[in-house]
């Protein structure tokens, strides 16, 4: 294998592993660098076959190029749709707004959760009759459930407790939506056909697919992400997340 292949590919894999191990919130970026490095090494392996097995090497290179092109085209198409969904709905008025939880650092909302809470507060001010379902269980490193953390944050800033409901079992987006709808049905007698959903802007596309699977017409309420590097990483991760949701 030529030096340019193993140096570049191996270097990207080592960088990806280091990124994955050292930076908690950049695991996907680490995996992405590892994947790119692996593809480069595969091209290098195909190039190394040219001397002894030229026909096999040519076939392998063609297959690799087609595969890379298909993945890139699919990623571009999915990325456009995820980007369109990032803006949310112009008028997401609904009787209920489901707030998708994010991490809690001990007792304090993480940056992502704080951004979602700010969007929730603005939504409740804009639509004073709406009831918010705060959804999120208690994960590793969290001293309280995400739902309770959100409840405390919002009530400390003047949101009336009677406008809030806590759903503290969910550990995935799918469970966030399902358990929130079950809570609404148990208290109000019926599942809503339409509900607003607050989440990070890059996450709204996948959330809409999961909401559709639950029979819910979702009105997206985007929470902005201040860190552009983190946003780009999560945007790319959501492209893969959409593929996973559609396939599985």
Q: Do 150 and 117 form a contact (C-beta atoms < 8 A)? A: yes
Any idea what DSSP says for residue 51? T
248 Cβ neighbours under 8 A, 6+ residues apart: none
- Torsion angles phi and psi, residue 21, rounded to 5: -80, -35
| Same domain assignment for residues 26 and 135 | no
| Same domain assignment for residues 70 and 150 | no
| CATH code: domain of residue 191 | 3.40.50.620
Q: How many structural domains is the chain composed of?
A: 2
User: For position 6, what pLDDT does the model report?
Assistant: 85
Assess whether pLDDT exceeds 80 at residue 114. Answer: yes
Q: Do 130 and 153 form a contact (C-beta atoms < 8 A)? A: no
Question: What would the pLDDT profile of 134-159 be if each residue is shown by its tens digit?
Answer: 999 998 889 999 999 999 999 999 99
User: For position 24, what pLDDT does the model report?
Assistant: 67
Determine the structural domain holding residue 74 and report its residue range.
3-86
> What is the C-alpha separation between 177 and 197, in angstroms, rounded?
9
Mean pLDDT, rounded, of the chain: 95
Kindly report the three-state secondary structure assignment for every residue of 36-47.
Answer: HHHHHHHHHHHH
| Same domain assignment for residues 168 and 195 | yes
Any idea what DSSP says for residue 142? B
User: For position 161, what pLDDT does the model report?
Assistant: 98
Instruction: Name the strand (E) or helix (H) holding 180.
Output: helix 173-188
What is the distance of C-alpha 24 from the center of its chain? 15
Question: What would the pLDDT profile of 30-60 be if each residue is shown by its tens digit?
Answer: 999 999 999 999 999 998 888 888 888 899 9
Q: Do 126 and 163 form a contact (C-beta atoms < 8 A)? A: no
Beta-carbon neighbour count of residue 231 at 10 Å?
A: 16
112 domain residue, yes or no: yes
Average pLDDT over residues 8-23: 90
Assess whether pLDDT exceeds 90 at residue 115. Answer: yes
Q: Do 136 and 100 form a contact (C-beta atoms < 8 A)? A: yes
Rg of the chain (C-alpha set): 22
| Same domain assignment for residues 111 and 139 | yes
Q: Do 88 and 82 form a contact (C-beta atoms < 8 A)? A: no
| Same domain assignment for residues 24 and 133 | no
pLDDT bucket at 4, cuts 50 / 70 / 90: confident
DSSP 98-136: EEEP--EEBTEE-HHHHHHHHHHHHHHHHSTT-EEEEE-
Last residue of one domain, picked from the residues 86, 110, 134:
86
Q: Do 89 and 221 form a contact (C-beta atoms < 8 A)? A: yes
| Same domain assignment for residues 111 and 212 | yes
> What is the C-alpha separation between 73 and 151, in angstroms, rounded?
42
110 Cβ neighbours under 8 A, 6+ residues apart: 102, 103, 104
User: For position 51, what pLDDT does the model report?
Assistant: 80
| Same domain assignment for residues 151 and 183 | yes
> What is the C-alpha separation between 187 and 115, in angstroms, rounded?
28
């Amino acid at each position: 294998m030529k030096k340019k292949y193993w140096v570049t590919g191996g270097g990207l894999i080592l960088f990806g592993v280091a990124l994955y191990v050292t930076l908690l919130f950049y695991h996907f970026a680490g995996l992405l660098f590892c994947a790119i490095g692996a593809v480069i090494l595969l091209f290098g392996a195909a190039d190394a076959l040219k001397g002894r097995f030229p026909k096999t090497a040519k076939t392998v290179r063609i297959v690799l190029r087609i595969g890379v092109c298909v993945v890139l085209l699919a990623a571009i198409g999915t990325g456009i749709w995820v980007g369109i969904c990032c803006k949310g709905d112009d008028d997401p008025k609904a009787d209920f707004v489901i707030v998708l939880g994010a991490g809690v650092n001990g007792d304090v909302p993480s940056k992502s959760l704080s951004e979602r809470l700010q969007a929730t507060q603005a939504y409740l001010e804009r639509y004073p009759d709406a009831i918010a379902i705060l959804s999120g269980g208690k994960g590793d490193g969290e001293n309280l459930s995400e739902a309770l953390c959100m409840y405390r944050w919002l009530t400390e800033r003047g949101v009336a407790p009677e406008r809030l409901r806590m759903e503290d079992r969910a550990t995935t987006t799918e469970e966030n939506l399902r358990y929130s709808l079950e809570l609404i049905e148990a208290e109000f007698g019926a599942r809503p056909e339409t509900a607003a959903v607050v989440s990070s802007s890059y996450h709204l596309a996948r959330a809409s697919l999961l909401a559709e699977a639950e029979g819910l017409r979702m009105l997206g309420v985007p929470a902005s992400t201040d860190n552009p590097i983190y946003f780009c990483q999560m945007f790319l991760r959501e492209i893969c997340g959409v593929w996973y949701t559609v396939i599985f």
